[in-house]
Amino acid sequence: KLSERLTAVAEYIPSGSRIADIGSDHAYLPCYAVKTGAVSFAVAGEVAKGPYLSAASQVKKEGLTKKIDVRKGDGLEVVTPGEVDCITIAGMGGALIASILENGKDKLGEVKRLILQPNVGAFAVREWLIRNKWELISERILKEDGKIYEILAAERGEPLRPYTEENFTAEKFFGPFLLKECNESFREKWNAELLNWERILEQLKEAGHSEGTENKKQEIQAKILMTEEA
């Protein structure tokens, strides 16, 4: 059975899509999406040998080699321009997801939807989307096995539409949809972050004064204030 996290990613794939799942590991997501009929063709991309081999063996085991092409390579280099219209990248940090998109910009011409699931640092993904004229159309946050995950879906459009002028910084940090919804997983995630920052702040205070620690303290204090307000 597919995890709730990857099922939620799959739910954002438009029916009839041709997808590339980058960093596919075991290829569970493309296998599931092909089996449900949502996807007619998928590329499963992997940079590391072990995960690449595990993706290839899973696809073979499920008898899906005609519909899922497992390819080894870094980020979007495994994709030919025009080949897919939806890209999924799940289970990595937000900064890595943003760098994969940045390095693969020339492959995004025909891509209509991006579905991104950063484990941490979702704001780096939101920043990349804004800078590259992708509009965030939906977000989800969910808890599974004690961990909290965010999923961001984007299409080409008006990148600032989901944001407000007054609350732009906080919305970029927490997610405009997630901040508005403010569900239990959201509150749990940011309450845990608050405790963590407060602990770091205490440690920095004990460490004494230097330009570096002063900057770090201010940065953390700003995040604490923003989170308390949220």
Q: Which residues bind ligand SAM (CB under 6 A)?
A: 6, 22-25, 45-48, 51, 74-75, 90-92, 96, 100
CB of 113 to ligand SAM, least distance (A): 17
Select 87 or 204, whichever has its Cβ closest to ligand SAM: 87
Nearer to ligand SAM, 51 or 94 (CB): 51
Specify the residue, 51 or 175, whose C-beta has the smaller distance to ligand SAM. Answer: 51
As a whole number of angstroms, the distance between CA 116 and CA 93 comes to: 10
**What does the DSSP 8-state code read for residue 190?**
H
Q: Which residues fall within 8 angstroms of residue 62, CB to CB, at 6 or more apart?
A: 31, 35
Residue 23 beta carbon to ligand SAM: minimum distance, rounded to whole angstroms: 3
Task: Scan for tokens 């080409």, then name that residue.
Answer: 156
Using the minimum distance from each CB to ligand SAM, give the nearer residue, 20 or 204: 20
Helices (H), ranges, 86-183: 94-103, 122-131, 168-174, 176-181
**Rounded least distance, CB 24 to ligand SAM, Å:** 6
Nearest residue to 150 (alpha-carbon basis) of 9, 1, 2, 3: 9
Rounded Cα gap, residues 85 and 90, in angstroms: 17
Query: Could you tell me the smallest distance in angstroms from the CB atom of residue 8 to ligand SAM?
Result: 11
